[in-house]
Amino acid sequence: MHKKGVLLCGHGTRVKQGEEAFIAYARRFAAMLPEYEVEAGFLELSEPDFEKGVKNLIERGIEEIIALPVFLFTGVHIQKDIPCILFQLQRKYNVRIQLASYIGDCDDMVMLSNELVSQVASEIKGQEKETLFFGLGVGASKAAANGDLARLTRLVQESNNFSFSINGFCSRMTYPSVGEALTISERLDYKNIVVLPYVFFPGVYMDKALALLDAFKSKHPDKRVLVTSLLSESSALSKILMKRLHSIEEGEADLISRVDKETLENYEPHHHHHHGHACNGHHH
């Protein structure tokens, strides 16, 4: 039986540390899947790109590839960019590629969130009613993605008996921004704020968010601000990705098959899907 390949699909970042963190994560993930050949690839801004990852797998004798998107929610990348790019690579290299589902606001992600919260919230035990939960998101042009984060945030808030929750978004396309959400938080009478970044790896967005949080802490020494680890630092993330992999193996329709043929065949990469560090695109 031929070994199959797994292409771990990341977004890409301008921050070298974030790029290296994703590659290191891919190596750890590969060690958990000895029955597969595993490569990493980025959608934009970073190297290697998806094509390089696919070529590396083909060079190792792989004829079937399952692409696993390390993406939290739906959006243009999941609905169009990634399926179309992989479809065109499938044709170009005559290799079968299936695209597994994104992670979503599933029960497993609620559990992962609660695990990260528990690591920082021990020092405010018993003060849940005086605590605001802050779900820090990237933000998306698709309302469904922002809605999924709102639902996930609410479920985590209630699981931990926190009084209230708020979302703040890193990208300019979604309201409220992290800064605006912190301004709202200032007016609320909670002495503890637990911040969970719904971000996988370091990047420009996270750097800016942490700078805003540091400034907020300095301005409000009376409020305790606790920031959890990033999502990739939980071992539960790999378990969720394994489930997405096994769903495809068990016959779930992949995301490429859900895109109409005309879109797949006529797709041209968006202007910001460039690789390397000198390009002009949105900041991650």
Q: Is 61 left (phi over 0), alpha (psi -120 to 50) or beta?
A: left
| 135, containing H or E segment | strand 131-137
Q: Which residue has the tokens 């797998």?
A: 57
Q: Which of 11, 77, 273, 284 is catalytic?
A: 11
Is 11 one of the annotated active-site residues of the chain?
Answer: yes
| CA dist., res. 29 & res. 12, Å (int) | 18
Q: Is 130 left (phi over 0), alpha (psi -120 to 50) or beta?
A: alpha
| 65, containing H or E segment | strand 64-69
Q: Which two tokens stand for residue 127?
A: 């003060």
Sign of the dihedral through C-alpha 115, 116, 120, 126: negative
- Nearest CA to 52 out of 42, 66, 65 is that of 42
Count CB atoms within 10 A of the CB of residue 112. Answer: 21
Sign of the dihedral through C-alpha 123, 226, 150, 17: negative
Residues with catalytic roles: 11
